[in-house]
A and B are shown apart, each in its own frame.
Chain A
Amino acid sequence: MPINYYLFLSIALFCIGVAGVLTRRNAIIIFMCIELMLNSVNLLLVAFSKMHQHALGVVNANAGIDGQIFVFFIMVVAAAEVSVGLAIIVMMYRNTHSTDVNFLNRLKH
């Protein structure tokens, strides 16, 4: 499949993720959108890795493998980040009994 399709899909997913982070009020939805952004990047990396393998496979058997390896790292980071983030949200809920991010405007002062 032409690389463009993967490119557009990935960008679309990323933009949806950004829009979600900026506009949604529920903290958990914001988290989901962050995951969306991370996974869109994963998709892109795998697509490019496959592209490189197609282009350089004859010369080097391990061409383009770096993209896929980097995806692993991103997944690990995403997992760690989710655990920390959810812990924060739980704390937030315990203190304010809501998941509304607009409630947290203490930085104003």
Chain B
Amino acid sequence: MNSINLVWLVPVLPLAGFLINGLFRNSMSKSFSGIIGSLTILAAFVLSLLIFGQVRQEGFRPVVVTLFDFISAGKLQIPFAFQVDQLSSLFLLIITGVGFLIHVYSTSYMKEEEGPHFARYFAYLNLFVFFMLLLVLGANYVILFIGWEGVGLCSYLLIGYWFKNMDYGNAAKKAFIMNRIGDLGFLIAIFVLINQFGSVSFGEIFPAATHTPIPVLTAITLLLFVGATGKSAQIPLYTWLPDAMAGPTPVSALIHAATMVTAGIYMIARSNILYTLTPVTGTVVAVIGLATALLAATIALKQNDIKKVLAYSTVSQLGYMFLGLGVGAYTGAVFHVMTHAFFKALLFLGAGSVISAMHHEQDIRKMGGLKKHMPITHLTFLIGCIAIAGIPPFSGFFSKDEILAGAFAKSPVYYIIGVFTALLTAFYMFRLYATTFLGKFRGTDDKAHHLHESPAAVTFPLIVLALLAAGAGFLGIPEVFAKDAHWLEHFLSPVFEASTQLQATGGQPFDKGMELALMGVSVAVALIGTIWAVTKFSRKPELEEATGFGKVLANKWYVDEFYNAVIVRPLDLLSKFFGFIEKYVIDWIVNGIGRLVQYGSRQIRLLQSGQVGAYVLLMVVGILVLFLVQLFVKK
């Protein structure tokens, strides 16, 4: 049974879920909405499994399934086509799998919403999955861009889900606008691609890339990266992600941890040959990724909202992924996408469980001692923290280490900063863990009475994700431990084949001893950060307001204020200036023409005296004029 021919069904199922939940939301019961929403994703997941089963076979070549001609303009042909290969099938599994778990979780988390709004939530969530699937399945940059824009839209819709709150609406707008700034870069890159290659299809661009002048490729890759900084929250377009925590927590888990923000990584991994050919862009990507990772980690150290810490953690981990892409460790970056999807979604869903139990209190200074009251949430959250800190044998260690090894091969400076950031990661994550779950409960007595573990719809996804976060690392066991045991690298090798061949010509692989030493350093650093944070914060949680340098970190290095002063206010003044021009210059001219016509007509109306004699006179004059004209104008 060739399930690859049915690949179009994978995005269409969530789309159908969106239509059903959207159109009939006023007449469906909540449980029915939840079931429709979740079942479509489950069906898509099953189909993705079947496709994956086919793709896994040895010697599988990418299959392009064309649905219809989308744009046909002279020589430029853009078909609506899906490309099924190792990279897209892997992402399909991640998106539908984690998506399904989050849908199940949402049926419990959002149960306080009213019927139509509940259905609206699931409609938007399904629409998001539809666009994300379109993004990863697209066989050309235009279909990818359709999905790219669509997930930005759904992000806006979902962040601003509780639309009656103006602040949430502003956060949604901020996310959408910053995304759009990045999208401009992406769009220009597509134009350059069309100009250079006459096509946007992956199958036509990538083989021709080696014969293209490097400056053009550099321009394309840099512009694509601008798009990625917007979508995947890197410097300078990352400030929307912490504000996006205004949305419901499952939304944060799905969109801002597991899927949408990884769109940039996917896009660069897909275009890996272009990036391998342009070392300049590679350096830019790596440096920005590293800087973002470090910056976000420092900010997370002093945040007191449980979701904000996780948001900055996401930005930081995305920085790691871009570092991996920049140094050419494409498999490492994709590996980290996968493991990050598991443990970050786990952490967010765990945070949601805590927030529910705390009656929507999100400040960790008011929590504490939840270990006793919420055992499953506690255990799964702990597993997530260990995974993100990079402690073996949990998954984060394997993927992060692969990126760090690649970084070291490019430059030891990258490695040192990366390891320092890993120390900070372990520290702030366990600060979060210790302050929330250990010690004594610091909230009101009333809240203490209501603390209890969350229902099965919440804990089931937590358990599944915890198992994945713990075990997914074994999909990518590095060479030093066992020969040819890196399943993921072997699986994805056809996608990165061309890049690997180009990279093999430069730089030498390092010996086993070196690699083990690097691993040892990063594990030691992670353990130090973990133990230090747990011992410090379980005994004395950080309750006072931050002072001095800590205050700078708590205020996010004042980046938002900086953007406000340097970009937002000048634009505001500029638009006020143009508003003045419009009102007094342009409108004056346009209205002036009206006034002129009115004046002219007033004067001409005087001709209409009602005196017949005057009319006859005018008639005679007219005849005379015509006569003279025909006399003097020679034919």
Which A residues are within 8 Å of any B CB, using their own CB?
A: 18, 21-23, 101-102, 104-109
Q: Are A105 and B620 in contact (CB under 8 A)?
A: no
Interface of B (DSSP majority class): helix
Which B residues are within 8 Å of any A CB, using their own CB?
A: 608-613, 615-617, 620
Q: Are B609 and A108 in contact (CB under 8 A)?
A: yes
Interface of A (DSSP majority class): helix
B615 contacts across to A, CB distance below 8 A: 107
Q: Which residue of B is nearest A102, CB measured?
A: B611
Closest 9 CB pairs of A and B: A108-B610, A105-B610, A107-B610, A22-B617, A105-B611, A108-B609, A101-B612, A18-B620, A21-B616
User: How far is B609's CA from A101's CA once the two chains are assembled, in angstroms?
Assistant: 13
With A105-B611, A107-B610 known, 11 other A-B pairs at CB within 8 A are A18-B620, A21-B616, A22-B617, A23-B613, A101-B613, A102-B613, A105-B609, A105-B612, A107-B608, A108-B611, A109-B610
B620 contacts across to A, CB distance below 8 A: 18, 22
User: How far is B614's CA from A22's CA once the two chains are assembled, in angstroms?
Assistant: 8
Q: From residue B468, how far is it (CB to closest CB) to chain A in Å?
A: 89
Q: Are B612 and A104 in contact (CB under 8 A)?
A: yes
Q: From residue A24, how far is it (CB to closest CB) to chain B in Å?
A: 9
Q: Are B612 and A107 in contact (CB under 8 A)?
A: yes
Q: From residue A7, how far is it (CB to closest CB) to chain B in Å?
A: 16
Could you pull out 27 A-B pairs where Cβ atoms are within 8 angstroms?
A18-B620, A21-B616, A22-B613, A22-B616, A22-B617, A22-B620, A23-B613, A101-B612, A101-B613, A102-B611, A102-B613, A104-B610, A104-B612, A105-B609, A105-B610, A105-B611, A105-B612, A106-B610, A107-B608, A107-B610, A107-B612, A107-B615, A108-B608, A108-B609, A108-B610, A108-B611, A109-B610
A106 contacts across to B, CB distance below 8 A: 610
Q: Which residue of B is nearest A25, CB measured?
A: B613
User: How far is B612's CA from A107's CA once the two chains are assembled, in angstroms?
Assistant: 8
User: How far is B608's CA from A109's CA once the two chains are assembled, in angstroms?
Assistant: 8
Q: Which residue of B is nearest A21, CB measured?
A: B616
Q: From residue A27, how far is it (CB to closest CB) to chain B in Å?
A: 10
B609 contacts across to A, CB distance below 8 A: 105, 108
User: How far is B613's CA from A27's CA once the two chains are assembled, in angstroms?
Assistant: 11
User: How far is B620's CA from A102's CA once the two chains are assembled, in angstroms?
Assistant: 18
B613 contacts across to A, CB distance below 8 A: 22-23, 101-102
User: How far is B611's CA from A22's CA once the two chains are assembled, in angstroms?
Assistant: 11
